Chains A and B, each alone.
Chain A
């Protein structure tokens, strides 16, 4: 990293000894970014900001929350009623979880479409999947904290999954619970871990960013940047674009927080936890529904658990399943179709996850689960061999094609000369 000469002598003095200003200048100011990024590239920064919002509101909430089975529910209601703007903190945190997942899901599907997981960005992708796993664990434990009916029964169902592990399953569940049922020790440790994990996520996000800045962002054309004519400095071009994206995101977020704060929640969670009364339908939060559908699709319990974790595990090896050298789905006519099918399949799984496991829903859930795995394990490897990609532009700024019809990429790269 080259040392920049700053005009302010104090900054220069510090920077010579501790080059944080050079670092920030290099990574957030000059940082060369492809000039053709579309709005789907806004969701990375939105995810980071969502994480910060969750941590800030979460710390404020923890100051008034009581992690005890006799007081947790009441303390949340106290936050809603007696803490100054407690209702706002709590609704931001509650809806923030949903919006964080919306943003992250869009971010992931953007990566899937534009092949952002391919060399040399495999570790960047894998770190992202680690963040997703940590987010899921954090969100699950956070949902338990208000100690409503869904909190309690969701915790009971999900922790019980570990009993599927042969031999030691029951012992592991007892160990997780800190007792023989979901009870006060469970609530206490979930609170502790729910506080800890977001900071672990911050750590992995830092690694994610280090890996990102090694080769820079992928872009809609999926080709490498060839020089300064292909890039723009991050500031002001992408700082302002991210700021605009943030304003729009916050508008939607605020609409939910202020006008539909309970739309994505479940009414049963306003009933205090009761170990003697099972809710009519135990459903997880919406962002877990596709995984819940996969879990229930397999008639065997251990099989279901393996399939559910497998649905994430398959993402870890994705860079080696899709061997096509072309990154962007724009130049892969068959891949593109299967991408949209996968997206539809995930939405369908989410719908099935919300429905009772009976009748036709079971069959559709199973087919959708099979399709999910077929997409990753069969279709992507086969496509990498049989698909003929469309010709790629030579560079981002020079949309001249290496072969094939000139019309093929006309939409992808408009007619401007350098």
Chain B
């Protein structure tokens, strides 16, 4: 009984309804990956990848993505090798039993910025920067949520007291977020000269994280179209066959 009560109490008091400041408000945008025929926007994903590297990756890991996966973004094998070689990963133990650092290869996953959760918290005022691989799928309405979160750092209402080390974010549940504002506009210079306003970078990041959360999305939807066409035809044919066989049955 006590345990259940604890669980129920925990549920109630951590729910957004009870959180100070109320729930977040989402902005809506059009996304290329929306809908049954949606596809990834490779140019936006490459820009988002650059933004992740230059802005997010200082604190946030991307554990489920390997360098080889970058082929999905349109990079060729040499480009992927070059990108990987810019990173160092720990390997070993070698013949002497020592761990050692070496340049990453395409088969390696992106190295995390911190050794473990405690190190991450120690460096971030007690807050834990989440792994971003699945963040897109781990939030309801992921695309609009991430876009809103990244672009909703606004002045706190005068009646709200923002504690030290916290920031006001209109899209965040409870409005108090430990992550400082990541984008101010012109944070990065895009190689293709694209718009680098905070809004545009946020959208590029969303495109990138939509892919990191489910690299197989395009294959899934493309396969789905073929499968559905087949099944609709099969349903039609089997309906015809059924009518043919049942034609001689008197009700």
In the complex, how many angstroms separate the beta carbon of B72 from the nearest chain A beta carbon? 11
Q: Footprint of A on B, CB under 8 Å?
A: 1, 3-4, 7, 10-12, 14-17, 36, 64, 69, 133-134, 137-140, 142, 173, 213-216, 219-221, 223-225, 227-228, 231-232, 234-235, 238-239, 241-242, 245-246, 249-251
**Cα distance A4–B69 when bound, in Å?**
60
In the complex, how many angstroms separate the beta carbon of A335 from the nearest chain B beta carbon? 25
In the complex, how many angstroms separate the beta carbon of B233 from the nearest chain A beta carbon? 9
- CB within 8 A of A164: which of B1, B231, B251? B1
- CB within 8 A of A282: which of B7, B214, B250? B7
**Cα distance A88–B223 when bound, in Å?**
10
A262 contacts the other chain (CB 8 A)? yes
Cβ–Cβ contact B7 & A254, under 8 A: no
Cβ–Cβ contact B228 & A254, under 8 A: yes
Closest to B251 in A: A416
Cβ–Cβ contact A258 & B224, under 8 A: yes
B234: chain A residues within 8 A (beta carbon): 247, 250
Cβ–Cβ contact A160 & B11, under 8 A: no
A-B contacts, 21 listed (Cβ < 8 Å): A80-B214, A87-B214, A91-B220, A157-B4, A160-B3, A160-B4, A160-B7, A173-B3, A237-B245, A240-B245, A247-B231, A247-B238, A250-B234, A254-B224, A255-B228, A257-B224, A258-B221, A258-B224, A278-B10, A278-B14, A356-B17
A60-68, A263-271, A286-294, A371-379 - interface stretch: A263-271
Chain B interface, DSSP helix/strand/loop, else mixed: helix
Do A271 and B138 form a contact, CB below 8 Å, given A244-B239, A248-B235, A258-B224? yes
Closest to B69 in A: A81
Cβ–Cβ contact A163 & B1, under 8 A: yes
A5: chain B residues within 8 A (beta carbon): none
Do A278 and B7 form a contact, CB below 8 Å, given A80-B216, A267-B139, A356-B15? yes
A74: chain B residues within 8 A (beta carbon): 64
- CB within 8 A of B11: which of A91, A236, A280, A414? A280
A157: chain B residues within 8 A (beta carbon): 4, 7
Cβ–Cβ contact A259 & B36, under 8 A: yes
In the complex, how many angstroms separate the beta carbon of A13 from the nearest chain B beta carbon? 32
Q: Footprint of B on A, CB under 8 Å?
A: 35-36, 74, 77, 80-81, 87-88, 91, 153, 156-157, 160-161, 163-164, 173, 232, 236-237, 240-241, 243-244, 247-248, 250-251, 254-255, 257-259, 261-262, 267-268, 270-271, 278-282, 301, 356, 397, 414, 416, 418
Cβ–Cβ contact B142 & A267, under 8 A: yes
Cβ–Cβ contact B16 & A280, under 8 A: yes
**Cα distance A271–B130 when bound, in Å?**
10
B225: chain A residues within 8 A (beta carbon): 258
- CB within 8 A of A236: which of B173, B224, B245? B245
Cβ–Cβ contact B246 & A237, under 8 A: yes
Cβ–Cβ contact B242 & A240, under 8 A: yes
**Cα distance A324–B14 when bound, in Å?**
51
Cβ–Cβ contact B4 & A77, under 8 A: no
In the complex, how many angstroms separate the beta carbon of A94 from the nearest chain B beta carbon? 12
Besides A88-B223, A247-B235, 14 more A-B contacts (Cβ < 8 Å) are: A81-B215, A81-B216, A87-B214, A87-B216, A87-B219, A87-B220, A88-B220, A156-B7, A237-B245, A240-B238, A240-B245, A258-B36, A258-B221, A270-B137
A251: chain B residues within 8 A (beta carbon): 228, 231-232, 235
Cβ–Cβ contact B242 & A262, under 8 A: no
Cβ–Cβ contact A281 & B223, under 8 A: no
